[in-house]
Amino acid sequence: MKLYSRGQVIFFSVVSGLIATLIVLGVSKENTRSGVKAQAEIAAIELTADQPYYAATPWLEAPILNTADIVSYTEDERENISIYERINPAVVNITTEIMAINWFLEPIPQEGGSGSGSIIDTRGYVLTNNHVIQNAHKVFINLADGSQFEGSVVGIDLENDLAVLKFEPPGGMELRYIPYGDSSNLKVGQKVLAIGNPFALERTLTVGIVSGLGRPIQTSRRHIIRDMIQTDASINPGNSGGPLLDTQGRMIGINTMIYSPSGGSVGIGFAVPVDTARRVVPELIQYGKVHRGWIDATVVQIFPNLVRYARLPVESGLLVSRTRRSGLAERAGLRQGNEPVQYGRNIIYIGGDIITSVNSIKTNSLADLYSALEASKPGDRVTVEILRDGKPLTLEIPLANREEVLNQ
């Protein structure tokens, strides 16, 4: 065993310390280089559907992509994200300006309501609900990129609560539009998505299923929208007019209303089926309205006092008060009343036929008649079931132009 003097021990200790320090510094420097290299490699990773976005680091201006933060979305999530990113640019936020009267009885513009809409054509046509733009003095269409355009009302369909708007995109602007789907083959339980602007919260996506089909919803005293789609996808005020989509990103309905005791979504929303829009939109664009057929007769919805006074054989239906002389209905055999009675300010002729159904749709009210003839055209023939002197009878009646009959 070799012995070292005290001086030699001190010398070796100092040298060993210097060597250790140099080794530590070298390792630290190499680790720093490796860290920079690793960050550069991570930053160069190309994100795909299987490598989606990462959790951001909150204290940095720009988040640093870290492989440990990359997670795979589920197939369902990827589907939702894909549909939203593709379709969102074709969904618009619609705001309106209405005219009000101030204390000096002067008309002044003020902010109206807001809703949603879908671009359906690259020329700037937008499909929405009629109630979104009802009574509007001006209509503004706000796109996903933040641009705003003043739009015009091209046409409205009160019976289906639909409206078509138009704005003029500047040259070079490439509009994305939502393709029509098919609402005739929907199934309860099918997944659907809604995009809209509920409570002015723009660009909101909600997801649900088709909860029911063929729902008849009465929207006014005269109008029933039949075959509405029921969904539990969250729909709130501001969603009106926005698209209900299938998992291919195709429009299958136009979100229109909700059932809600509280005013907010309780999971019962309704959409006009896209097949209805498909049918009426071309006419709205071409004529500004929909041409529909009508039985050229004046009918009265049966009510209890009339049942008692006229001793009618039924408690519901439509009493034919008058037919147009030599009109289509009269020539087809429909019989008018012959005994005038006064009810309030109106004169009703009793003793005529009672219409109980049109094309197999029960006509217990005027709204039922409007609904039964909603898809008809002037010249179409309809099957009308009536009661005459208490006995059932069936007639085939050609239809006149509704606008001409109701405005005569």
Cβ atoms within 10 Å, residue 17: 10
Cβ atoms within 10 Å, residue 318: 25
Pairing of strands 346-350, 339-343: antiparallel
Which one of the listed residues 161, 232, 353, 368 is annotated catalytic?
161
Check if 131 is active-site.
Answer: yes
Nearest to 92 by CA among 126, 123, 135, 132: 126
Q: Could you tell me if 229 and 271 are in contact, meaning their C-beta atoms sit under 8 angstroms apart?
A: yes
DSSP 169: P
**Phi/psi at 194 (nearest 5 deg)?**
-125, 135
Check if 291 is active-site.
Answer: no
Check if 240 is active-site.
Answer: yes
| CA 103 to the chain's CA centroid | 38
Residue in the block written with tokens 């902010």:
111
Nearest to 361 by CA among 370, 352, 353: 370
Cβ atoms within 10 Å, residue 182: 14
Which one of the listed residues 114, 183, 211, 240 is annotated catalytic?
240
Pairing of strands 297-301, 318-323: antiparallel
CA distance 36 to 48: 24
- Alpha-carbon dihedral 358, 258, 91, 109, rounded to 10 degrees: 100
What amino acid positions are annotated as catalytic residues? Answer: 131, 161, 240
